[in-house]
Structure 1
């Protein structure tokens, strides 16, 4: 697919018969093809150049039949597609831009010299490229679309009557692409999933939001996320904090008294544990690492002279770390 800057690798030299030509006049319609299809540019050698998708081009073998429709992006990139495929995935004939049943919805609709319909769309080429890959059930991973492009593509799918829930599931290419963006763009991926009620996607994405500062959410983001998924995100953070608070509240179990260490001596470990847990609770985070728990409590053993107390401390810390790793990490 052509990028917006149209690097040379995505450009194709075109002879006159390759270029879309103006449609025939229908009843003196004032619509001109120049209003729909941009003029081709010329390179330094005087050759005419048009920008054509590297996946959806006139000779692509995606299907046995040749393409019969041209989708034109807002930045002048041509996508050669099949009307039957486009209409089969849309519930509103691509927002009314494509006629159903093979009939012309508007007499002035432009065509090429070979009769291919030209469907202009308001989205730029990177966004349309993702949408068309979804329509054909193809992966566009090689184009490395950003999360902003993916989000705009899902919004465009809704506009064109392509239900996101039907095409963004754990086994689909688009699901994998969005999820791959979650580690670096977690809030953007979560907004995308939440705004389209894609619960199966929101769940794994939310696990990357444990370190996200919820107070930094803007009004715009909260509005896009919506009350249901916002509540789930808040409850995830609050639930993990409360679970950790309960885990560290109980000090190590005392051991039976010995000549060297009775219950009175063991109270020093209990007091030290209480102070350490209060320190940890002060800066408690839902993304706290097990190593941080160990770094907080294990040094208490350096001040203990009783081996049984040391063993009890180590076992208690180990138990907390294991239990903490089992606490739910997603909505």
Structure 2
């Protein structure tokens, strides 16, 4: 089975055309952008976006598609004076193609996008690099992405750790003494909070989205029930997608 772009099809071809998937087949107001020809000569006009949405692995792209092929095509486009930035704008086919590499080849896709200064693509792909160990980055890829985008990748990971540290290392706010939680209770809770969250900050990775940590201290009053008196028991940093939960027992 072969595939081609409908606008480049040879008008002299007289093979049969699918009665449903024909050149006028409209989905979401869009005409087909891909022509697939079966071995028996039947032409199917389909939509790339619909096909990609139906497959869990981009129809085997993880084993057959590589960024190097796309890079060669991009170099050819530049050679003939075409604007990569315009062709790879969000929602354009080239943008979707490079973005499709991200789940399988995240660092290669990021280097490809940054090499051609495709900002929107680089930002989108970087979400797949939160767990990437930058110490494994090859010299070749480092040079390809350049110092600016390499620094941005490193700073992305560091900023997530810093944001979490700024959240969880703040002790619970003190409140007026109550019959069930006096000043001594609150100071003990603050110590338990500090011990528990120090371990969280030490062990957390930039890719963590849900952090659960158990701290079993000697105190009996530092419990979730007493924390309902006004202490901050759960803190959410929605801006960077981190949910930190500390169970104090």
Q: Which of the five TM-score ranges fits, normalised by the shorter chain?
A: 0.5 to 0.7
Out of 216, 225, 240, the residue aligned to residue 327 of structure 1 is 240
The answer to whether residue 185 in structure 2 is matched with residue 265 in structure 1 is: yes
Aligned to 2:4: 55
Out of 91, 105, 109, the residue aligned to residue 185 of structure 1 is 105
Aligned to 2:154: 234
Evaluate the alpha carbon distance shift between residue 179 and residue 239 of structure 1 in structure 2; reply closer, same or farther with a 3 A threshold. Answer: same
The answer to whether residue 200 in structure 2 is matched with residue 280 in structure 1 is: yes
Query: Match of 2:4, SS?
Result: coil
Q: Verify the 8 A CA contact 2:172 2:190 in the aligned structure 1.
A: yes
Shift of the alpha carbon at 1:211?
0.9
Instruction: State the aligned residue count.
Output: 198
State how far apart, in whole Å, the 1-side matches of 2:201 and 2:7 are.
61
State how far apart, in whole Å, the 2-side matches of 1:172 and 1:178 are.
10
Once the two structures are superposed, what CA deviation does each residue of 1:36-81 show, in whole Å capped at 9, x if it has no partner? xxxxxxxxxxxxxxxxxx537xxx77468669xxxxxxxxxxxxxx
Evaluate the alpha carbon distance shift between residue 255 and residue 165 of structure 1 in structure 2; reply closer, same or farther with a 3 A threshold. Answer: same
Aligned to 1:35: none
State how far apart, in whole Å, the 1-side matches of 2:7 and 2:80 are.
25
Evaluate the alpha carbon distance shift between residue 139 and residue 150 of structure 1 in structure 2; reply closer, same or farther with a 3 A threshold. Answer: farther
The answer to whether residue 227 in structure 2 is matched with residue 310 in structure 1 is: yes
Q: What residue ranges of structure 1 are gaps of 5+ in the alignment?
A: 1-8, 11-53, 68-137
Evaluate the alpha carbon distance shift between residue 245 and residue 61 of structure 1 in structure 2; reply closer, same or farther with a 3 A threshold. Answer: closer
Q: Which is bigger in relative contact order (C-alpha 8 A, separation at least 6)?
A: 1
The answer to whether residue 152 in structure 2 is matched with residue 214 in structure 1 is: no
Aligned to 1:296: 213
Shift of the alpha carbon at 1:244?
1.1
State how far apart, in whole Å, the 2-side matches of 1:203 and 1:169 are.
13
State how far apart, in whole Å, the 2-side matches of 1:260 and 1:171 are.
58
- 1:108-119 map, 5 Å: none
Query: TM-score by structure 1 length?
Result: 0.51
State how far apart, in whole Å, the 1-side matches of 2:191 and 2:133 are.
32
Aligned to 1:48: none
Query: TM-score by structure 2 length?
Result: 0.66
Q: Between Structure 1 and Structure 2, which shows a larger proportion of strand residues? A: 2
Once the two structures are superposed, what CA deviation does each residue of 1:104-152 show, in whole Å capped at 9, x if it has no partner? xxxxxxxxxxxxxxxxxxxxxxxxxxxxxxxxxx959688562323233
Q: CA RMSD in A?
A: 3.4
Once the two structures are superposed, what CA deviation does each residue of 1:234-258 show, in whole Å capped at 9, x if it has no partner? 2211222111111111122233212
Evaluate the alpha carbon distance shift between residue 312 and residue 286 of structure 1 in structure 2; reply closer, same or farther with a 3 A threshold. Answer: farther
Once the two structures are superposed, what CA deviation does each residue of 1:204-228 show, in whole Å capped at 9, x if it has no partner? 1111111111111111111001011
- 1:1-331 map, 5 Å: 9=1, 54-55=3-4, 62=8, 144=61, 146-148=65-67, 149-290=69-210, 292=211, 295-296=212-213, 303-304=220-221, 309-311=226-228, 316-318=232-234, 320=235, 322-323=236-237, 325-327=238-240
Evaluate the alpha carbon distance shift between residue 316 and residue 173 of structure 1 in structure 2; reply closer, same or farther with a 3 A threshold. Answer: same
Aligned to 1:47: none
Shift of the alpha carbon at 1:187?
0.7
State how far apart, in whole Å, the 1-side matches of 2:80 and 2:216 are.
61
Q: Verify the 8 A CA contact 2:161 2:206 in the aligned structure 1.
A: yes
- Please say which structure displays the higher CA radius of gyration: 1
